[in-house]
Homo-oligomer: A and B are copies of this chain.
């Protein structure tokens, strides 16, 4: 993409209403703009990141056997009356009346709707187990929205729901999602630690929060360093063994921290830090299947309410959380798997015909090789271009200038390490293809 054809309104000023670094950087780097309190438009560069995160989530859900559908944003109040939650839900639910004065709401979550859809579509144990998910905009009317997309009101969430014939099956579905979550976050290049949540709605050990480690996180966290050494991507598909492994290691937020258990962790493995919640999974049994009258027939002819779980990932929140975990004083440092472009190509002298021609050719070769490239072909000073590339945080910068071209070289900069090397053009392209 040529910057002269793009829409990337970067700003030098730090917006005064932004308190945390991810919010500041998302505004400065032209990723989002607030359009109302807690509501954001995703500008082209931000949307690319959002879509990449969404795609990693989707791929790992599919790999875990979950099936994607898409439920609408607006729901009828009557649906929520079936579970009894319409009156119980607080002022965070955005209640709406349509032109016929029918009561509706903007979905903050979808347990009722998925139960209703699945109830009407299946009859027997042969249709189970099944985990269904969607990735859709939700609305929670936060009393004080803040921290940019980290605590917005309209936000993108992946929510999955599992249906099983019995508790043993439901536990397996839960373990499978736990594994999918750990793989999801690892693929995004961030460390996320699963922590037993304060209390599942029906008690028991089947509720975990996933906390991204970031020095600016909202919660204090305590965890065993072995979590840092585990490679979930390479972990076998034995989800139950994984769950047992996770359960054997200490991890807690300040809300659930237990000093007695903590002192049993060897001192050299004790890690303390801060973190941001980016996912939450629950097993909640028959709460919705029973209240909404969903039954399936078992192999021996009985009618039972399926055992259910729900599994959420804050997709738009992750954009902010990843920036909190990965930035420096010059701007964002995107992990490569979710970077909006892999390479930022800088033409140092757009007013120099031979330099522009060389940069155009390199751009064509990068595009031809399928390398996602943002090409700064604007007629601006080199310093401004460097600052822009640093703040938007693409993994690689390829800098083309007249002096280098005389020697037949370009400069390749790694955004993470800051390392800059002069290389012949061909070698730089080979390295970028391999990177």
A positions within 8 Å CB-CB of B: 4-7, 9, 30, 33, 35-37, 39-44, 46-47, 50, 65, 67-76, 79, 91-92, 94, 96, 98-99, 102, 104, 106, 113, 116-118, 120-122, 126, 130, 132, 137, 139, 141, 143, 153-154
Contacts and interface: CB of A to CB of B under 8 A. Distances in A.
A70 B46 CA distance: 9
User: Which among A33, A36, A143 has the highest number of chain B CB atoms within 10 Å?
Assistant: A36
Contacts of A98: 94, 141, 153
Contacts of A153: 74, 98
Contact of A137 (B6, B73, B99): B73
A106 B137 CA distance: 13
B70 A117 contact: no
Count of identical protomers in the assembly: 2
6 contacts: A9-B121, A42-B70, A72-B154, A94-B98, A94-B99, A96-B106
A194 to B, nearest CB: 26
A239 B79 CA distance: 50
B99 A65 contact: no
Contact of A117 (B5, B41, B68): B41
| 9 nearest A-B residue pairs (beta carbon) | A9-B121, A36-B76, A42-B70, A41-B71, A91-B99, A99-B141, A39-B72, A72-B154, A47-B70
Given A7-B132, A43-B117, A94-B96, 9 more contacts: A6-B67, A9-B120, A33-B120, A35-B76, A35-B79, A36-B102, A47-B69, A91-B99, A98-B153
Contacts of A116: 35
User: Which among A67, A73, A98, A106 has the highest number of chain B CB atoms within 10 Å?
Assistant: A98
Contact of A35 (B9, B67, B71, B143): B71
A121 B91 contact: no
A141 B101 CA distance: 11
A96 B99 contact: no
A102 B42 CA distance: 22
Given A41-B113, A75-B36, A7 B67 contact: yes
A41 B121 CA distance: 13
A65 B5 contact: yes
A72 B7 contact: no
B70 A35 contact: no
Given A91-B99, A117-B33, A137-B137, A39 B74 contact: yes
Contacts of A102: 36-37
A50 B132 CA distance: 17
A280 to B, nearest CB: 23
Contacts of A65: 5
Nearest to A4: B126
Contacts of A47: 68-70
Contacts of A96: 94, 96, 106
Contacts of A67: 5-7, 44
A35 B118 CA distance: 12
